[in-house]
Copies of this chain bind each other. A is one copy, B any other.
């Protein structure tokens, strides 16, 4: 269905200039089912490009719960002409020198379709500069991507006064079909939009390093443990709208306006915060976010932050590894009394619910997986035991769902041992709501002890074997 749509719009794609950026573009087209023709005079280009595409083949499909279209074909060409002839989209990612770009466009336009879009990945040049001396200037636009191009959605789309609205619309439609977020930069400006912010931060960072205020690592930490987390989901203005509280953007501006006169950055050329500018910002912010109250925006922000922080925790990186370390500090060791253990005690996070408004059935499985972990660590199957090459794998779960579980509810799991016999272990978990002790679900769980090197089952060893025998006698 989609393939037809895409094919309706573009049948052939040319990538002029390989490298990391050209490779990222090639991957987006290929993995969305389109055939790609590449030209790059550098003999190493093919290798780099295929490496980037391999990264993309691993990463991009993981964003989707369904399958991407059947991958397109890739061909490395001997000339620009061979790559671009008959192509509907030509992506130029050659070095950032205007003279080279002009020569390349000249060669492209000798062979390409009149209807083809010639899109430049340039971060520095304006479309009117790219179009200089072109025989068909309107064909050339800027489509500026961000690395890694196969994962980051943003494409800045910029035209000149020679570009028509329908050229822009057509390019944006195609980019949307590819899964990108095309942002129309309505006026030509040096470095477009995003790179101006990157450049401002970069310049400030250079000062801080030069003046021995901070190191590269300290600067990165100042970003990724703080405002970086905010900016992954809301930008600058929506975040500050929340900071302004019920009094809104106007209040925020009046409160923080004076800082503009203070030496809070080395970059001191600042516009006057006139009433007119304040009113402009406030009304744009109303259009952007005005349909939601500050309380609603706070809730959205917090849920997004929880989800992002939890995703980083799962990857054990940056703010996520910090939370994992803190969790270790505050977690009690599970102690087993008789044959019964409280193996899990936790709150249900917002990212565990589904369209029915309650915890997804899969997450019950995760709770019972954690319950098994809680039980196992209590008998000595901990990180050391696992590092020594042994673990338990679950081979069967029988879950009965007894009541709905909602985000924010506190639950706990009682775990008892049904069987210990050689490599076999059977557990019975009961998940209960803390507030009223209502039984939410039960799970009969059958595990086998395994050797992690051979991935085959075997009997538990050492203290673990002894502890299990002691419990089940």
Contact = CB atoms under 8 A, between A and B. Distances in A.
A58 to B, nearest CB: 6
A32 B326 CA distance: 11
Interface stretch (A104-112, A113-121, A132-140, A192-200): A192-200
The 3 closest A-B pairs by CB, nearest first: A220-B235, A362-B366, A267-B267
A452 interface: yes
Contacts of A391: 356
Nearest to A404: B455
A264 B196 contact: yes
Given A20-B245, A205-B236, A195 B264 contact: yes
A293 to B, nearest CB: 13
Interface stretch (A76-84, A152-160, A419-427): A152-160
Given A216-B288, A223-B197, A179 B322 contact: yes
A396 B365 CA distance: 12
Q: Report whether over half of chain A's contact residues are helix, strand or loop; otherwise say mixed.
A: helix
Interface stretch (A34-42, A161-169, A181-189, A458-466): A181-189
B304 A393 contact: no
Interface string A342-366: 0001111111001111001111111
Interface in A187-229: 187, 189-191, 193-210, 212-229
Contact of A179 (B242, B326, B356): B326
Given A62-B407, A124-B262, A148-B302, 20 more contacts: A5-B329, A59-B303, A62-B347, A62-B348, A64-B326, A65-B327, A69-B330, A148-B301, A183-B222, A183-B225, A193-B219, A194-B223, A194-B227, A196-B208, A203-B270, A203-B271, A224-B235, A232-B232, A300-B315, A307-B311
For this chain, the copies found in one complex come to 2
Nearest to A298: B55
A265 interface: yes
Interface in A296-347: 298-315, 317-319, 322-323, 326-327, 329-333, 345-347
Nearest to A182: B225
B330 A68 contact: yes
A103 interface: no
A331 B66 contact: yes
Contacts of A362: 362-369
Contact of A64 (B217, B314, B346): B346
A199 B315 contact: no
A210 B276 CA distance: 9
A73 interface: no
B312 A62 contact: no
Contacts of A357: 452
A114 B218 CA distance: 31
A68 B330 CA distance: 7
Nearest to A282: B216
B361 A233 contact: no
A394 interface: yes
A284 B209 contact: yes
A232 B151 CA distance: 14
A201 B361 contact: no
Contact of A302 (B55, B213, B220): B55
Contacts of A223: 194, 197, 231, 235-236
B231 A213 contact: no
A170 interface: no
